[in-house]
Amino acid sequence: MFILDHLWIIIALPLLGAAINGLLGKNFSKPIVNSVGIGSIALAFLSYVEAVREFSQLSADQIPVTKSYFTWITAGQFKVDFSLQVDQLTIVMLGVVTFVSLLVHVYSTGYMAHEEGYYRFFSYLNLFVFFMLTLVLAANVVLMFVGWEGVGLCSYLLIGFWFLKQSAISAGKKAFITTRIGDFAFTVGILLLFWTFNSVDFAAIFKQAANLQPEAFAPTGVLTAICLLLFSGAIGKSAQLPLYVWLPDAMEGPTPVSALIHAATMVTAGVYMVARMNPLFSRAPFAMFVVALVGALTAFLAATIGLVQTDIKKVLAYSTVSQLGYMFLGLGVGAYASGVFHLMTHAFFKGLLFLAAGSVIHAMGGDQEMPHMGGLRNKIPITFWCMFIATFAIAGIPGFAGFFSKDEILEAARSGPNANIWLWLLGLVGAGLTSFYMFRLIFLTFFGKPRYDEHKVHVHESPYNMTVPLILLAILSTVGGWVAAPHLVGRTDYFEKFLHPVFATYAPAIAEGAPEAMETPGMMLLHALTGWPVLIALAGLLVAWWFYIKSPQTPKKLAESLRAPYTLLLHKYYVDELYNAAIIQPLLWISTNVLWHVVDETVIDGTVNGVARVARESGSELREIQSGNARSYATWVVIGAVGVTVLMIGLWGMVR
Amino acid sequence: MDFITQHPVLVVSLAKIVGLMFVLMTTLAYLSWFERKVIAHIQSRWGPYYVGAHGLLQPLADGVKFLFKEDLTPPGADRFVYILAPMLALTLAMTTLALIPFGPPSVQWLGESTLIVANSSIGLMVVFAITSMGVYGIALAGWSSNSKYPLLGGLRSSAQMISYEVALTLAVVGVVLLSGTLNFNEMIAHQSGAFWHWNIFYLGRGSFPQIIGFLCYFMAAVAETNRAPFDLPEGETELVGGFHTEYSSFKFAMFFMAEYANMITVSCLATILFFGGWLSPFPESWTFMRYLPPVGLLALAVYLAYDTVVLARGIARIQLIVVTTGALVIGLACLHPVVLAIIQGPFWFLLKVGLIMFFYVWTRATLPRLRYDQLMSFGWKFLLPVALANLMITALVKIWPLLVNRG
Amino acid sequence: MSIVPISYYLVLSAVLFGLGIIAFVVKRNIITIFMAIELMLNAVNLAFVAFARAHNQLDGLVFVFFVIVVAAAESAVGLAIIITVYQNRQTLNLERINLLKF
Amino acid sequence: MTLPFIVFFVCAALAVLAALTLILAREPIHSALALVLVMVSLAVLYLLLGAEFIAAVQIIVYAGAIMVLFVFVIMLLNAGVEERTDYSKLAKYAGLPLGIFLLLALAYWMLESFIGKQIANGLGGTNASVSTRELSAQLFQKYLFPFEATSILILIAILGALVLAKKDE
């Protein structure tokens, strides 16, 4: 039980790496930086493996393992320990984080090889991993919030990694500020949590929540409020409507960053949080519905925007947003396990997609525009095949990871405990769109004739330290979903079984409606394989093939004929412009004309200067007393003594 | 009248004070004779010889001379202080003697012990208090005469007295530790026994011979009384006579008497602290020693008689006859048991004091004067540390039994 | 033999203290002002001894002891300072030593 | 009218007169002498109060050391007659009246104070004088730490005086 007793090791390793690289790395040669950066993460991964081994030996009642190391804050009854916990959910998240980040680190050694501030990049990455692990391992909300903010910080730093590029800087700021809006709500949620439950420890909160019947909260609706606030934090962090706008811009950062932070781990923090808080959400049906709705809408709209993007990374970004939407949809309809499952698979194939895209960009010498590509399939076969597999996975073609998870989610949306047919429809259409724009991406990039200048751009396959991670991830994207295979034949899949304690322990008792008309496994398998999701995915594939292989001029004609919606999509529904007009400008105006010129200059400065002036003038009057003549001082002393004596004798009557 | 009867102590004290004053005055007068004689003989001279036999009337002549000298005050002198200074000096010097026990407290009259004026429970402290005031006489004298040399002399002497007072006190503290009291009579009682019980010699359990203490005390005392070799304040060669340069006639005499009185005081103190005060040096068992005083006096009378018959001529012979008969009468009177009992203490006490006075004169006659910086460095860098060390050792020895018993 | 009431001593100490204050304010010579301070200390000492006597406790006397010792130290330093001041300014008049002003 | 009263009143009168002389005298030396007189008479009062040791210490340290130091400094600096400057208007007009008021107020207070009355009714009745032995016991047992602290203070004071007074080469 070494690792489980000393969970802090897992956190400490990346922090150590970050410290070493960040403080001393300037003079290190690349190999040293690599060994430090990758080494720390590799060790963290190993200790994770060890943790899994130890975890597997635990009996059910020993879970979750909670270790409190020291008291961090104490104020009245508000007491926060630095305590970490491990349960099944944590195990899953830990695996995703440590593994993907390890691969990304390896990948970065190739991708960032020629960049300035190499050591800086790696120390940032390690720092990010540290905060992400803190977020995942935290046993109370406050510590979780620390990780939450920390990953935000690291994402800001990494988006603005090329801080000489104006766009990068502003993108970083945008990400930070947009997220902050959600974080504010999240903070309020935490305070409300403490105010309600008098504790910030998950265990305590859940126990109380489980004991209190939902009716107890119903009149005040405080539980719903808490959930909505927390979910607002999730909206900011995992880029849901209406706060998704920062994610596409975040693509200004280096591609590995996009892969790790903005696809695999950080953006899924919201999902993790909601899953972690499931005992509360399960008791707030309205909040659940909101989650599901937001998820479904995001999934759909982001997909639509993705249709027309030409920047390869932008497409992936929007697809990420929509996939996150799916996850929330899953959570919202009560299929927590499915949501988390999709989180995992998505981490694999979306990470793979980004890395592959990075490899493509690498090959193209930094060009990200799909219209300039084409026909790369033979030039960079490994990248091509990996990306192809990933596309199959995300599109939900049977047999690949994405298929299982997405299918489960849609299944739950259709026939789950709190299913909603409209949400299911949205999700379904979104799935079709997904497969369409993904294959569009593939066809535009790898098929057809090269549209770039052969002489200028020398396309070349990436080095091994970039391709090996791709291959590993490709394998996972293929087989990663099979743990859920039994679901197809109506059994509970292994993944769900594994996660079951987390979501069942405090789950509210719901009268299980008798499952209608059990079918034979064979029939179910058939249904699953010929179900709506599969069909619509294939449809999307076909349409994409028709548009971009068979008759490439069709899209233009379509765009001509449907100009209005096309431009609408092209400009992402003018959301940025809307926000700019509706929020940013008024805010600027207020802060300039009211806060700055009125409040700051007149009120605050006025007060301060006034105080100073009063002090100065009174001082220039009073200094006359400082005559430098000690006899006067003596007289003052005597005056004081007389005063005291008069007080004591006359007023306080101490004589008698 | 009833007030007097209420406080008999007043009457007795008054009587004692008057007696002491009379004795003291004559003693002071004859101390000068004594000193001059001793020094003269050390320097193989005759000294005062012609005014009366052996110059015995010399002090009288000096006194007359002092009285009839012109008493002048330097211009611009602060008159009040100028007059105050010598009075202060003499008064303080003589006051200390009120604390000195000349004999055992057993000798009493009207229920008050006779041979001591004021038997204070903290006699030693009082003596030091008064002597410490003695500085003013000299300092003020030097300041008030509004003249360069006296001022320097005054400054020097006050500095010197302050510095040496420290060593003096520290040297004495050892004895205080041993006897565990500040009262003179108790101190003396603590040394009772033969002479090896005196503090200077006694080496017993929890006791440390104060020989070092005595030496420190003696040197400090010499300096304290501004005597040679520490007589910087009146160093004629550089200061034209020091703080009393501007003084003439009887004020000058007062300063001299004050000096002698101080000498007597410190000698008495030394006797009490180190030499067992009025105790006889012999064990109690030697009762025949009680007859030593009369025998000594009679021997003196015999010598004087021989002197009268053989040597003296004219006035001196008459004078000698008076003295001889006086000695004879006193000696015979001492044979009376009552007087014999009374005389024991004072006899030994005065004998010891006289011896120490002789030491005083001896040092003056033999040792050269120090330089001022030598004086200071000697006082601060040698005398003080030695006295401190002596104190430490004494304290350690005293508490040694306790430490040992504690284990 | 009757006892002098303690209040007499207290009154005397009060009077002496007041005189000390007056001297402190009225005199110009630094040394004299210093003496005024000593006078006040003495007055306080008298009160201490009187109280100690009143309550038959020795603490008052011990305090007087400490006061005297501290006064010794204080006067040593103070006079040294006065000497330095005199060497620098050639005056003992407190009113002529007024460099430290606005 | 018994002896203690006589002694008390004589000494009190002496002390007050001497204090007045301290104020009125223009020669610093005279002030110093007056202060010495005050101290001596106070010492006698201590004796009257039965504090023999304190009386002795008062004379030895105060009259014998501190005041000698004062006189010494006065002689050294040859401080002349005090010049009656009045730069400080405040002290000139307010100083004396306030001082007198304070004096009277304090005296009245002491006279009327509860404690004063209580003791006047013969609370501190005993006439025995405090034995030096008890005092030293108090000093070296109950007040040992303050005693040591004071000794260190004195050491520091000596050093300070040396540093201040020595001619800086």
The domain limits of chain B are 2-44+59-279+336-406
Q: How many DSSP H helices and E strands does chain B contain?
A: 16, 2
Question: Which tokens is A195 given?
Answer: 């105010």
**Residue B404 CA neighbour count, 13 Å, CB half:** 8
C86 contacts chain D (CB < 8 A) = yes
Contact D131 B121 (CB under 8 A): yes
Range A45-62 average pLDDT = 87
Tell me, what amino acid is at B29? A
Residue D30 Cα, gap to closest chain B Cα (Å): 8
- Reported CATH class of domain C28-89: mainly alpha
D88 contacts chain A (CB < 8 A) = yes
Which helix or strand (DSSP H or E) is residue D102 part of?
helix D96-112
Which helix or strand (DSSP H or E) is residue D18 part of?
helix D3-24
Q: Strand A65-75 relative to strand B112-113: parallel, antiparallel, unpaired?
A: unpaired
Contact C98 A634 (CB under 8 A): no
C37 contacts chain A (CB < 8 A) = no
- Domain boundaries, given as residue ranges, for chain D: 1-82, 88-128, 131-169
> 3-state class of C28 per DSSP?
coil
Residue A613 Cα, gap to closest chain D Cα (Å): 29
- Condensed to tens digits (0 to 9), the pLDDT of residues A257-283 reads 888 888 888 888 999 999 988 888 888
C94 contacts chain A (CB < 8 A) = yes
Contact B135 D36 (CB under 8 A): no
C72 contacts chain D (CB < 8 A) = yes
Distance CA A246, CA C97 (A): 73
C97 contacts chain A (CB < 8 A) = yes
Can you list the alpha helix ranges (DSSP code H) found in A369-454? 381-395, 401-415, 421-446
Q: Is the pLDDT of residue A513 over 80?
A: no
Distance CA B143, CA B246 (A): 11
- Condensed to tens digits (0 to 9), the pLDDT of residues A281-329 reads 888 888 888 999 999 999 998 888 888 888 888 888 999 999 999 899 9
A638 contacts chain D (CB < 8 A) = yes
Residues within 8 A of C (CB atoms), D 73-102 only? 73-74, 76-77, 79, 82-88, 91, 95-96, 98-100, 102
> 3-state class of B192 per DSSP?
coil
Range A65-94 average pLDDT = 86
Contact D153 C73 (CB under 8 A): yes
Contact D38 C73 (CB under 8 A): no
Contact D69 C79 (CB under 8 A): yes
- Partner residue opposite A635 with nearest CB, options D90, D105, D113: D90
Q: Which of A67-71, A213-217, B8-12 has the lowest mean pLDDT?
A: A213-217
Which pLDDT score, from 0 to 100, does residue A220 have?
Answer: 62
Contact B122 D3 (CB under 8 A): no
Max mean pLDDT among A97-106, A522-531, B11-20, D123-132 falls in A97-106
Q: For residue A435, give every residue at least 6 positions away whose Cβ sits within 8 Å of its Cβ, in sequence order, or none.
A: A394, A395, A396, A397, A536, A537, A538, A539, A540, A541, A544
Low-confidence stretches of chain D (pLDDT beneath 70): 1, 114-129, 167-169
Tell me, what amino acid is at B363? T
A624 contacts chain C (CB < 8 A) = yes
- Condensed to tens digits (0 to 9), the pLDDT of residues B34-44 reads 999 999 999 98
- Partner residue opposite C32 with nearest CB, options D28, D88, D109: D28
**Residue A116 CA neighbour count, 13 Å, CB half:** 4
Q: What is the DSSP letter of B44?
A: T
Can you list the alpha helix ranges (DSSP code H) found in A546-595? 554-561, 563-570, 575-579, 585-589
Q: Which of A347-351, B218-222, C41-45, D133-137 has the lowest mean pLDDT?
A: D133-137
Which helix or strand (DSSP H or E) is residue B397 part of?
helix B384-406
Phi, psi of A520 (to 5 degrees): -75, 150
Which helix or strand (DSSP H or E) is residue A354 part of?
helix A336-364
Phi, psi of A86 (to 5 degrees): -130, 125
Range A135-164 average pLDDT = 90
**Residue B8: closest CA among chain D residues belongs to which residue?**
D3
CB contacts of D120 in chain C (<8 Å) are: 5-7
Does residue B59 contact residue B47 with C-beta atoms inside 8 Å? no
C75 contacts chain D (CB < 8 A) = yes
Residue of higher predicted confidence among D130 and A355:
A355
Which pLDDT score, from 0 to 100, does residue A530 have?
Answer: 65
Does residue A163 contact residue A207 with C-beta atoms inside 8 Å? no
Peptide bond preceding A242: is omega within 30 degrees of 0, i.e. cis? yes
Which pLDDT score, from 0 to 100, does residue D124 have?
Answer: 43
Q: Is A116 buried (19+), middle (13-18) or exposed (0-12) by CB count in 10 A?
A: exposed
- Partner residue opposite C101 with nearest CB, options A626, A634, A635: A626
- Condensed to tens digits (0 to 9), the pLDDT of residues B228-272 reads 788 876 666 666 667 888 888 888 888 888 989 999 999 999 999
Does residue A319 contact residue A306 with C-beta atoms inside 8 Å? yes
- Partner residue opposite B129 with nearest CB, options D30, D36, D64: D64
Distance CA A369, CA B290 (A): 137
Does residue B209 contact residue B238 with C-beta atoms inside 8 Å? no
How far is residue A611 CA from its own chain's centroid? 48
Contact C97 A630 (CB under 8 A): yes
Peptide bond preceding D146: is omega within 30 degrees of 0, i.e. cis? no
Contact C25 A626 (CB under 8 A): no
* CA nearest to A273, candidates A167, A140, A446, A443: A140
**Residue A641: closest CA among chain C residues belongs to which residue?**
C21
D26 contacts chain B (CB < 8 A) = no
Does residue A71 contact residue A81 with C-beta atoms inside 8 Å? yes
Chains that touch D (3 or more CB pairs under 8 A): A, B, C
Q: State the virtual CA torsion across A181, A101, A358, A376 in degrees, nearest 10.
A: -140
Range A373-388 average pLDDT = 85
Phi, psi of A66 (to 5 degrees): -120, 125
Low-confidence stretches of chain C (pLDDT beneath 50): 1
Chains that touch A (3 or more CB pairs under 8 A): C, D
Confidence of residue A517 (pLDDT cuts 50, 70, 90): very low
Taking all residues of chain A, what is their mean pLDDT, rounded to a whole number?
84
- Partner residue opposite A641 with nearest CB, options D94, D102, D109: D102
Distance CA A145, CA A147 (A): 5
Q: Is the pLDDT of residue B138 over 90?
A: no
B386 contacts chain D (CB < 8 A) = no
Q: Is the pLDDT of residue B3 over 70?
A: no
Q: Is the pLDDT of residue A512 over 50?
A: no
Distance CA D169, CA D156 (A): 22
pTM summary value: 0.60
Distance CA A254, CA A258 (A): 7
* CA nearest to A125, candidates A148, A145, A106, A149: A106
Question: Which tokens is A587 given?
Answer: 């805010």
CB contacts of B125 in chain D (<8 Å) are: 52-53, 56-57, 60
Question: Which tokens is B108 given?
Answer: 């009493």
Which pLDDT score, from 0 to 100, does residue B405 have?
Answer: 72
Distance CA A348, CA C41 (A): 89
Distance CA D20, CA D31 (A): 9
Which helix or strand (DSSP H or E) is residue C71 part of?
helix C59-89
Residue D168 Cα, gap to closest chain C Cα (Å): 11
Distance CA D46, CA D55 (A): 5
Taking all residues of chain B, what is their mean pLDDT, rounded to a whole number?
85
Q: What is the ipTM of this complex?
A: 0.80
Distance CA A25, CA A7 (A): 27
Domain D1-82 is found in CATH 1.10.1060.10: no
DSSP string, B273-317: HHS-TT--SS-TT-GGGGGHHHHHHHHHHHHHHHHHHHT--HHHH
Whether C and A touch (3+ CB pairs < 8 Å), yes or no: yes
- Partner residue opposite A656 with nearest CB, options D90, D99, D114: D114
* CA nearest to B269, candidates B162, B167, B124, B169: B124
> 3-state class of A265 per DSSP?
coil
Range A340-367 average pLDDT = 87
Number of Cβ within a 10 Å radius of residue B392: 11
Confidence of residue B356 (pLDDT cuts 50, 70, 90): very high
Q: Is the pLDDT of residue B126 over 60?
A: yes
Whether A and D touch (3+ CB pairs < 8 Å), yes or no: yes
* CA nearest to A275, candidates A213, A335, A359: A335
Q: How many DSSP H helices and E strands does chain C contain?
A: 3, 0
CA angle A331, A337, A343 (to 5 degrees): 75
**Residue A634: closest CA among chain C residues belongs to which residue?**
C25
B276 Ramachandran zone, left/alpha/beta (phi>0; psi -120 to 50): left
Residues within 8 A of C (CB atoms), A 246-275 only? none
Whether A and B touch (3+ CB pairs < 8 Å), yes or no: no
Distance CA D96, CA B341 (A): 65
